A and B are shown apart, each in its own frame.
Chain A
Amino acid sequence: MLRYTEDHEWINLDGDTGAVGISPHAIEQLGDIVFVELPEAGTTVSKGDSVAVFESVKAASDIYSPASGEITEVNDALLDDLTSITPDRAHECWLFKIKVADAGELDEMMDEAAYSAMIT
């Protein structure tokens, strides 16, 4: 189940664990990505917490957790080549996986169609 936040994160829930990334639109808006900070596995976070940072040439952008829970896995391989983070690969470029404490938090989030409508 794929859901989006108003801050352009996506979460793809599989069972009780969701992979989290940022949308193609967000990657395009960032421009050249020059530094990424990811969270540490084992961290417990609340929905809306700043959990990662994307730095472009011009600015630093916070990435917020779309759900509450425990971060179980972090995609450190992403940091090897930041130029691989492109809009067309947005859904392969997951940042971390989170064991979601309350799947009900996702109910109020946007599906693909609602998110597409928001950004156009």
Chain B
Amino acid sequence: METRRTPLYDFHLANGARMVPFAGWDMPVQYADGIKAEHLATRDSAALFDVSHMAQVWLAGTDADTALEQLTPTDVGAIADGRVRYSMFLDDNGGVLDDLMIARLGGDLQLVVNAGRADHDIAHLRANLAGDVTMSIRDDRALLALQGPQAPQALRRLGVDLDGFFFMQIGHFTIDGIDCIITRSGYTGEDGFEISMPADKAVQLAERLCADEAVSLAGLGARDTLRLEAGLPLWGHELDETINPVTAGLRFALSKRRREAADFPGADAIMKDWNDGPARQLVGLLPQGGRPVRDGAELEIDGTIVGHVTSGGFAPSLDAPAALGFVDAALTSPGTEINALVRGREVPVFVAALPLVPHRYIRG
């Protein structure tokens, strides 16, 4: 299958990217400095990520809120103009079909969904949107993520006024003459921004941002290690149709009004876990001895399987291996020792609270 290219494809090559196929796209996994350096630059300063492979889907019309509430556990009607919510598409068993961001700007809803699930999600929306709703797939727009503690200063140096603009807000801004829609959000655990702009302006904006000495480029490799440390789920790993939001530690994504009404897909199963506690739960895992523990490794105690690893690798900010996985509810206390089975070996891992590296969001 032919891979798609974002508007920044040539820009990536010119900047020394190593390109890999990802979710049907040709994307930079790293640049010349490598994943560790790009990760640490994000935590220490600021890094720019091309996330144009994610789909931007806009919904307009008087029935858009109601339609989206049929598919998610979010109180969509309560999302004020200029606000962003984390949400998920649920199936009737309470499994997660995908996770997404929902923002309201100028009355319309703006969704960002995972690249690998975009075709599924768009079909799911199309099949379920009823009444006065118009869906537009904004593949005429690019998306850049500027992440890290220096991200706000880098934007201010380009004349962006961030006063009163905090975590999980969205607004219109002009950067270098380009009309941008910015959310203060991201996938790294750091303060940062996701910037949507017309596709034909993406290179200009990327070059302008990278001209700031605090900003360097980072690829999907660093994006993955950053989100791993931040304990943020990745669909296909910590989330899928067999995992419900309570099991995945995402209780915050279930709106109070929707829980009380229990009127979202899979509400029975999800509210049972909400009230009784799930059988298994997502935890952080810190492998001992330096050997990384990766996706798919089983977790055991005295020969009994008690869970499995969903994502794992090396955590540059911890300078040690780290992983995420599901374990039996009785084993979720930080410090609990479990064995991971890696290539026939037992690797001791300690359960750790999430996030493994504290979030540094700037809240209003």
Chain A residues with CB under 8 Å of chain B are 31-32, 34-35, 37, 53, 55-60
Q: Check if B316 sits within 8 Å of A57, measured CB to CB.
A: yes
Whether A58 and B321, one on each chain, are in contact in the complex, defined by CB atoms closer than 8 angstroms, is: no
Q: Is B43 an interface residue (CB 8 A)?
A: no
Query: Given the complex of chains A and B, what is the CA–CA distance between A59 and B313 in angstroms?
Result: 7
Indicate if the CB atoms of B34 and A32 lie closer than 8 Å: yes
Docked CA distance A94–B67 (Å): 62
Q: Are B35 and A58 in contact (CB under 8 A)?
A: yes
Q: Are A57 and B291 in contact (CB-based, < 8 A)?
A: no
Most B Cβ at <10 Å: residue of A32, A37, A53: A32
Max chain B Cβ within 10 angstroms of own Cβ: one of A31, A34, A53, A55: A34
Q: What DSSP secondary structure best describes chain B's contact surface?
A: mixed
**Within the complex, what minimum Cβ distance (angstroms) separates B30 from chain A?**
7
Q: How far is the CA of A53 from the CA of B293 in the complex (A)?
A: 13
A64 to B131, CA, bound (A): 62
Cross-chain contact A35 with B290 (CB below 8 angstroms): yes
- B319 closest partner in A (C-beta): A34
A60 and B35 contact, CB distance less than 8 A: no
**A-contact bits for B31-53, CB 8 A (1 contact / 0 none):** 00011100000000000000000
Quick check: B290 and A57 within 8 Å, CB to CB?
Answer: no
Question: Shortest Cβ distance from B327 into chain A, in angstroms?
Answer: 22
- B36: chain A residues at CB < 8 Å are 32, 57
25 pairs of residues in contact across A and B, judged by CB atoms under 8 Å: A31-B34, A31-B35, A32-B35, A32-B314, A34-B290, A34-B292, A34-B314, A35-B290, A35-B292, A35-B314, A35-B321, A53-B343, A55-B291, A55-B292, A55-B314, A56-B314, A57-B35, A57-B36, A57-B225, A57-B316, A58-B29, A58-B221, A58-B224, A60-B294, A60-B343
Question: Are the C-beta atoms of B292 and A60 separated by less than 8 Å?
Answer: yes
Q: Pick from A56, A57, A58, A60 the residue with the most CB of B within 10 Å.
A: A57
List 13 additional A-B contacts (Cβ < 8 Å) besides A32-B34, A58-B224: A31-B30, A31-B34, A32-B35, A32-B314, A34-B290, A34-B314, A35-B291, A37-B291, A55-B292, A56-B314, A58-B29, A60-B292, A60-B343
**Complex CA distance for A60 and B297, rounded to whole angstroms:** 13
Identify the closest chain B residue to A29 (Cβ): B18
**Residue ID in chain B nearest A37 by CB atoms:** B291
Q: Which residues of A contact B35 (CB under 8 A)?
A: 31-32, 57-58
Min distance, Cβ B347 to any Cβ of chain A, angstroms:
11
Instruction: Please report the C-alpha to C-alpha distance between residue A32 and residue B29 in the assembled complex, in whole angstroms.
Output: 13
Closest-by-CB residue of A relative to B224 is A58
> Which residue of the partner chain B has the closest CB to A55?
B292
Give A35 to B343 CA distance when docked, in angstroms.
14
Which A residues are CB-close (under 8 A) to B291? 35, 37, 55
Please indicate the chain A residues that have their CB under 8 angstroms from the CB of B224 in the complex.
58
Complex: A55 Cα to B320 Cα, angstroms: 12
Note all chain B residues with C-beta closer than 8 A to A32.
34-36, 314
